[in-house]
Structure 1
């Protein structure tokens, strides 16, 4: 009896393995969803739309972008976390993914709810002021903030996002006080900046570089240690506030438990997409530095940033209202 039971278990396992292998070999047989947990117009949406065509070609099926904005990306991230782990739901995350658990009562775990595919790349952040503000340099902005604490306001894509926390870090290091005005995503934040509703934002270079080229806003400084080739005359924030660096990132994840062959297919398709000359040239020209990391490297970065920002959030008593 024990031998029969053991044989049946082995047979059952073999059948399951064969079925899994067949499923993975056939993948994908239908369109793949790419969840962007922010409204159209922001950095993550930019990455999704830049990658989607070539990613579709390398996956072998069309990639459908779904914008699911709200609560600094937590709503769309939760939708991805509870999706079937079959490879038909992909998720792009912003750097806010590393801090959301410190601010929101999220219904997923930052790490155990997902398999980390790759850190796609990083973006230097830029300090941008509205034309209506009359602040055309970082020195002028900081001088105004020192003269009238809390008068200078800045927009963000939501509480806890890099557009929120980077100005907090800047204010701490520069010894000034700024007023936070949150919006529901990067697109509405930029609209508010261009309309003069807010004086400044700190946003990723790919999102704002067009405004430097068209003159719709004042891109006054870059958050890297060195000047960037896309805007070589732009001074660094480090030259005004020593030691200050502002950088954002975008990465890809999938719901935890995607079969290994399917996961590898997704990973390979993403690597080929990021290496494609058309994609690479466009993203780099817009200020994006492609990283294309391993899953371990990506997860480790998120863990390190989670610890850093959790400390600042606690020190500044930042809460979601």
Structure 2
């Protein structure tokens, strides 16, 4: 597209500040941003967060399934051993995860329900602090997606007990899914590039074509593989369908736990 790209990391309110920055920008194609599970969760939990209608999907980048990790120092190496330990003493192992609404928070709500255990949770402001807490022993488990923990899993300092996806993660082919181990747990974060709603058709088409070409390039694919991303490039129409599916999955999950804001409850 021959246009310079300025990256602006906007923090605050569990990602809602950055999403509002996108939603309130002019729909001219010069402001796009990254959307993930946190934006879907926050749209139901936080009345101040922008609704999903404020965004227009441009391309779907990758799946980012949830997973359960445990410090190798615990001596626990399988999901079966973990479940037994937690059933014996639910207070024995502390889990690190995002604050309410983040992807690893959602994973930490879904996984113990499926396993039939209670999980003690300690929130951290992002994946990096959670990884640090796991490596230093401040917590013993985490419910992170694979990319932030991949190097430690490959090094053997962290054991990944299960991946919440339909298929095994390509970077950790020896780690079984929860389904393979008898638990129906599929919970997926995602990476999607979105623009403000109202994007002209020709602008969207230009962005879609250029971004898909980048996502499918050899250089990007190699970098994504190295960083543990599960690439699944999709165009705007398919990305919109994926977002709608996420919405229908996440809302009942949050509603069952009383986490949907009262004014955002559906009739």
TM-score range, shorter chain: 0.7 to 0.9
> Which protein shows a greater Rg?
1
Which residue, 89, 94, 98 being the options, matches 1:153?
A: 94
Match status 1:236 vs 2:177: yes
The CA RMSD measured in Å over matched residues stands at 2.2
Match status 1:182 vs 2:123: yes
TM-score by length of 2: 0.87
Match status 1:199 vs 2:199: no
Partner residue, 1:305:
246
Question: Alpha-carbon deviation of 1:105?
Answer: 1.6
1:191–1:70 distance in 2 versus 1, CA, 3 Å: farther
TM-score by length of 1: 0.74
Which residue, 7, 12, 20 being the options, matches 1:78?
A: 20
Partner residue, 2:69:
128
Aligned counterparts of 2:73 and 2:9: Cα–Cα separation in 1: 31
Aligned counterparts of 1:249 and 1:218: Cα–Cα separation in 2: 23
Contact 2:64-2:230 at 8 Å conserved across structures: yes
Aligned counterparts of 1:101 and 1:227: Cα–Cα separation in 2: 30
Contact 1:114-1:256 at 8 Å conserved across structures: yes
Partner residue, 2:4:
62
Match status 1:275 vs 2:216: yes
Whose relative contact order is higher, 1 or 2, with alpha carbons under 8 Å and at least 6 apart?
2
Aligned counterparts of 1:233 and 1:161: Cα–Cα separation in 2: 27
Aligned counterparts of 1:133 and 1:75: Cα–Cα separation in 2: 38
Question: Alpha-carbon deviation of 1:272?
Answer: 0.9
Match status 1:224 vs 2:165: yes
Question: Alpha-carbon deviation of 1:311?
Answer: 1.4
Which residue, 98, 103, 108 being the options, matches 2:50?
A: 108
Contact 1:71-1:184 at 8 Å conserved across structures: no
Question: Alpha-carbon deviation of 1:84?
Answer: 2.2
Contact 1:136-1:218 at 8 Å conserved across structures: yes
Question: Alpha-carbon deviation of 1:285?
Answer: 4.6
**Aligned to 2:25, what secondary structure does the other structure show?**
coil
Q: Which consecutive unaligned segments of at least 5 residues does structure 1 have?
A: 1-58
Higher alpha-carbon deviation: 282-291 or 189-198: 282-291
Question: Alpha-carbon deviation of 1:155?
Answer: 1.8
Partner residue, 1:259:
200
Contact 1:123-1:287 at 8 Å conserved across structures: no
Q: How many residues align?
A: 261
Question: Alpha-carbon deviation of 1:151?
Answer: 4.2
1:216–1:61 distance in 2 versus 1, CA, 3 Å: farther
Q: Which consecutive unaligned segments of at least 5 residues does structure 2 have?
A: 262-267
**Aligned to 2:56, what secondary structure does the other structure show?**
strand
Question: Alpha-carbon deviation of 1:319?
Answer: 6.8
Q: Deviations over 1:209-260 (max 9, x none)?
A: 1111223322233223443442232232223342222332100001122333
Match status 1:93 vs 2:35: yes
**Aligned to 1:65, what secondary structure does the other structure show?**
coil
Aligned counterparts of 1:69 and 1:244: Cα–Cα separation in 2: 30
